[in-house]
Amino acid sequence: MTAEPISAPAAPAPASRALTPRSLLAGDLMLRPLAQGDEPAVAEALRDPGILRWAAGRAVTEAPEGERARRWLEPRLAGWAAGNAWFAVTQAEQGVLLGALSVREVNRLPDQAVVTYWVAPSARGRGIAAKALDAAARWAFAGAADGGLGLHRITLDHALLNTASCAVAARAGFGTEGTMRDYYVDTTGLRHDSHLHARLATDGPAPVG
Ligand SMILES: CC(C)(COP(=O)(O)OP(=O)(O)OC[C@H]1O[C@@H](n2cnc3c(N)ncnc32)[C@H](O)[C@@H]1OP(=O)(O)O)[C@@H](O)C(=O)NCCC(=O)NCCS
């Protein structure tokens, strides 16, 4: 997983990087912008050691348990304005947060972005992350006339130990491009070799699609 910011988010991005919040349908799933009301579900998810180790970021893991959800949510609610699209992944008709997904750093490198994701333990085993990731990638690749971001290349990374995330990436059409040595530092300070995966706008449909 791409290293999360260690402290508060960086200074606001130029207005040109701001993204318009929107929702995406992915079969029976709905990706919608995170909301303040997601805090209890986020707090529950942040009890999971896997999310804390691979996806929460140090600003969260170093906070007292009772403050972690707020520390996680606050900068992400402001994310769209800074070029980071943060979605709650929900069951379409219910709206309760099952997981979270970001399309971050949009156009930090021209026509590129980075994706990150987690799924709450109670919602795992149903392929939710791959479905959500595929929908987010298709939106990010779509042209502006179709409501998309018009990107060309989207990347993700995961520690080699995180084989579930590797399977998610492959199912969502993100091929492995190589291994980045000692790339990810986990919450205990351990360094992990990580896979870099990428999907291009010109790639064919994902296996999950
Ligand atoms: C990675 C994660 C998002 C996957 O959740 P999910 O969408 O419910 O995934 P599923 O349980 O449906 O499994 C997806 C794939 O991973 C495989 N998988 C699941 N758990 C696994 C495990 N412990 N070891 C190896 N493979 C595993 C499944 O077999 C499936 O493979 P397939 O698509 O080839 O059939 C979830 O485990 C998670 O949130 N983990 C903690 C946070 C995290 O690691 N985020 C990503 C950081 S890079």
Smallest CA separation from ligand 1 atom 37, residue: 164
| Residues of the domain holding 180 | 15-200
Contact partners, residue 84, CB within 8 Å, separation at least 6: 19, 76, 102, 103, 104, 105, 106
Cα 145 to ligand 1 centre (Å) = 34
Q: What is the DSSP code string of 59-87?
A: HHHTS-GGGHHHHHHHHHHTGGGGT-EEE
CATH code, domain with 134? 3.40.630.30
Does a structural domain hold residue 166?
yes
Q: How many domains does the chain have?
A: 1
With a pLDDT cut of 70, the percent of the chain lying above it is 93
Residue 2 lies in a domain: no
Angle between helices 128-141 and 163-171 (to 10 degrees): 50
**pLDDT above 90 (res 4):** no
In a domain, 5, yes or no: no
Read off the pTM. 0.92
Question: Is 115 inside any structural domain?
Answer: yes
In the predicted model, what is the mean pLDDT of the chain? 93
Our mutation pick for probing the ligand 1 site, out of 53, 87, 168, counting the most ligand atoms within 8 A of Cβ, is 168
